[in-house]
Structures are given as C-alpha cells and as structure tokens.
Amino acid sequence: MTSLKFLALDSNSLTDLPTELGKLTSLEGLTLGDNSLTSIPKDIAQLTSLKTLYLPGNQIKALPQWITQLDMEIVWEKDYTGNGINLYGNPLEEPPIEVVKQGKDAIKAYFENKNK
C-alpha cells in the first residue's frame, strides 16, 4: 500500500488516525471530511507527497503550528476542490476562523505574534 496515491475516509466517525498512515509516503490526496477528528495528527507531516488534505466537518479546535510548514495552502471554503488543506466547518478557536480564512501567511503571522 505504500504506492497508494489517494485515500478517502470521509464520514467514518473517525476520532483518530492510525499511526501507519505516516508510511503512505506516495499519498497525494487524503480526504477525512465529516469525521470526529479533534486534532491533526503529526503523522500527516510525514506524507511528503501530499498535495490535498480535506478536513471539513470535523471537530478541530486548534491548528498545530507545524501545519504552516507543509507545502500546501490552507483554505476555508465549503466547495473547494483544489490542492491544499481545507478546514471548512471546523469549530476553530486557535487561530480564530477569521485568521484561517485569510490563508497560510496569516496563520503563520498569528503564530509568530503569539510566540513573542
């Protein structure tokens, strides 16, 4: 399965992801919409070929700062189908949704200001 390019796990009531996910280094697209994820696992950072991470409709309240280091834009759009990390519909508090809607540069600035 290490050559798998796309994995769709939408609407499965997932609360966590298996640690083996980080071994899917050829993965380019991962859809996890409409689950019950409360955080973004660090294993995602190991997916160096990933171009699309679809996370709408989960229960994510806080983004990890490392997410801004991934080579993907961060978007907040209901029907977005392009490459990037889509976080639409999560109850984000950290950073606030208003910041996330502005994209990755705004999120980076938020974390930089918070860490001063």
Its pTM surpasses 0.75: yes
The length of the chain in residues reads 116
- For the stretch 31-79, pLDDT in tens is 999 999 999 988 899 999 999 999 999 999 999 999 999 999 999 999 8
Closest CA to 103 of 91, 86, 115: 86
CATH assignment of 6-114, given 2.60.120.560, 3.20.20.70, 3.30.70.3000, 3.80.10.10?
3.80.10.10
Domain ranges of the chain: 6-114
- For the stretch 19-28, pLDDT in tens is 888 889 999 9
In this prediction, residue 22 carries a pLDDT of 87
